[in-house]
Amino acid sequence: MRWGELKREKCSVARTISVIGDRWTLLILRDCFLRVRRFEEFERRLGITRHVLANRLKKLVAAGVLARRPYQERPRRYEYRLTQKGLELHPVLLTIAHWGDRHMAGAKGPPVLYEHRPCGHRFDPVLTCSECAERLAPREVRVRPGPGGGGDALLARAEQHTPPG
């Protein structure tokens, strides 16, 4: 499967990866959640080339994840803001960060801590069932073919799928 074909796959993971699945895009999104908005600040913080940064920002705007808005008229300059679609990636990035904190942080511990503003407590992100509010464990999730699947072999086996481990 080629990189450009991912967005046409009958798989939500593949389609999502087609938008956010490279290192620079994930780091740009991380910085967006840290309230970085301007091209020069992304460039400075990430050490990314202007060409690569411009391409990734353009892709995120085209996908509706970021909105490009002017913040200065002379010369005209733009900032990049997360859209609702972009904000919905927050749990994805929190989960990636949590995995990194648990498995990649080293002896000193995690580089940043997350605090829930309303209650003031530090937290670890957890996935819960939207219906019963129970915590989701990999072995307790069953995958079934959905209406947009089209019946390929992977989806046909999905009903028998049990996550490894």
- Residue 161: is its pLDDT beyond 90? no
What integer pLDDT is reported at residue 71 of this predicted model? 93
Q: What is the DSSP string of 140-151?
A: G------TTSTT
User: Does residue 157 carry a pLDDT above 60?
Assistant: no
Whether the Cβ atoms of residue 6 and residue 14 lie closer than 8 Å to each other: yes
Rounded to whole angstroms, the Cα distance separating 17 from 74 reads 37
| Strands of the chain, DSSP E | 66-72, 77-82
Residue 65 confidence (pLDDT): 98
pLDDT digits (tens, 9 = 90+) for 53-71: 999 999 999 999 999 999 9
Structural domains in the chain, CATH included, are 1-88 (1.10.10.10)
Q: What pLDDT, on the 0 to 100 scale, is given for residue 87? A: 97
Task: Report the chain's mean pLDDT, rounded to a whole number.
Answer: 88
Q: What is the mean pLDDT of residues 123-129?
A: 93
